[in-house]
Amino acid sequence: MAATAIPEVRPDIDRDEETDSSTALEPGYLVICWNDPVNLMDYVTHVFQVVFGWQRQKAETHMLQVHNQGKSVLTRESLEKAEFYVHQLQRYTLHATMERDQG
Amino acid sequence: MKLIQSRRDQLIFEIGRREKGLLLEILQLYPLVPQEHHRLSKTARAGQLNEHQRLLEESLAAQRKENRKQIRALLDEAGRFQAIPTGFRLKITRPEIEWLLQVLNDVRIGGWIALGSPDTEAGEKIPVNERTTPFIRSMEIAGAFETVFLDALTGRTPG
């Protein structure tokens, strides 16, 4: 489908970097699990299965990525969903954070 | 401690007297991870996610309270540990194993934090002395029980 040539008028928006509103923090957050030398590998795999509903193989792949590469991006979500997942992972004392997707 | 029966919603373990003592000792250490350990983000600038960080802390505080209540209920429940000649028979539901894993891992991670979060994978040694021994011990015992529960959930026989 061809694009229609309509002049685009954009509102003059000043970005407020310090704002705390969810809208300004969109569009995406990465949920990342970081390596530590103390969480058991089987435990991490189990937590990924429970929190994300993944099959064991996928959970193990991410666990090994955490272990071998220092971190694994588990999912990319909206602020609210990323926050939910981080809460769940931290309930199990995994070292998980959400970071704004810069990509 | 070993799994003797796995039902759809309940697992039955046989646990020795000394093992039972160790399990109860570990559960009573909960919580060990300091509240301020939990961070929502590594890169968010000051002020950006303050409200969300507060929500995380509130959520985890509520969960700790609930877990403590569950531990109390488990310890007080008559018949939870059924005496048998070799020790006890312990019945646990699958949802109970989930919060037990959270509790055990809190003790494990809390011990590690108390030891200064040593990077043992990079070769950092943990000095063994009067101060560190109780934490090393609780970490190891918590980890051992975690392994038993994880093996039971996955149907694996410990090798």
User: What secondary structure does DSSP assign to A50-63, as a single string?
Assistant: HHH---HHHHHHHH
Helical (H) or strand (E) element with A89: helix A79-91
CB atoms A37 and B150 under 8 Å: no
CB atoms A92 and B121 under 8 Å: no
State what percent of residues in chain A have pLDDT above 70. 74
Q: Looking at residue A3, what is its pLDDT?
A: 40
Give the tokens for residue A63: 């666990």
Q: Give the distance from residue A10's alpha carbon to the nearest chain B alpha carbon, in angstroms.
A: 26
Q: How confident is the model at residue B71 (pLDDT cuts 50, 70, 90)?
A: very high
| B46 to chain A: closest CA residue | A18
- What is the number of CB-based contacts under 8 A between chain A and chain B? 83
For residues B124 and A87, give the distance between their C-alpha atoms in angstroms, rounded to a whole number: 30
Q: How confident is the model at residue B8 (pLDDT cuts 50, 70, 90)?
A: confident
For residues B81 and B73, give the distance between their C-alpha atoms in angstroms, rounded to a whole number: 13
* Per-residue model confidence as pLDDT tens digits over A68-78: 999 999 999 99
Asked if A80 reaches chain B (Cβ–Cβ under 8 Å), the answer is no
Q: In angstroms, what CA-CA distances link A25 with A50, A96, B32?
A: 27, 19, 33
- Judge if the upstream peptide bond of residue A11 is cis by omega within 30 degrees of 0: no
Spatial contact of B109 and B30, defined as CB atoms under 8 Å apart: no
Q: Give the distance from residue B127's alpha carbon to the nearest chain A alpha carbon, in angstroms.
A: 16
Distance of CA A39 to the CA centre of its chain: 20
CB atoms A99 and B43 under 8 Å: yes
* pTM of the predicted structure, to 2 decimals: 0.86
Chain A hits for B120, CB-CB cut-off 8 Å, are: 37-38
Q: Give the distance from residue A66's alpha carbon to the nearest chain B alpha carbon, in angstroms.
A: 13
Q: Looking at residue B18, what is its pLDDT?
A: 96
Exposed (0-12), middle (13-18) or buried (19+): which is B108, by Cβ within 10 Å?
Answer: buried
Exposed (0-12), middle (13-18) or buried (19+): which is B101, by Cβ within 10 Å?
Answer: buried
For residues B91 and B81, give the distance between their C-alpha atoms in angstroms, rounded to a whole number: 7
Chain B hits for A40, CB-CB cut-off 8 Å, are: 143, 146-147, 150
Q: What is the mean pLDDT of residues B96-118?
A: 96
Q: Nearest Cβ partner of A90 from B43, B47, B60?
A: B60
Q: Give the distance from residue B35's alpha carbon to the nearest chain A alpha carbon, in angstroms.
A: 11
Whether A25 shows a pLDDT value over 50: the answer reads no
Round to the nearest angstrom and report the end-to-end CA distance of chain A: 27
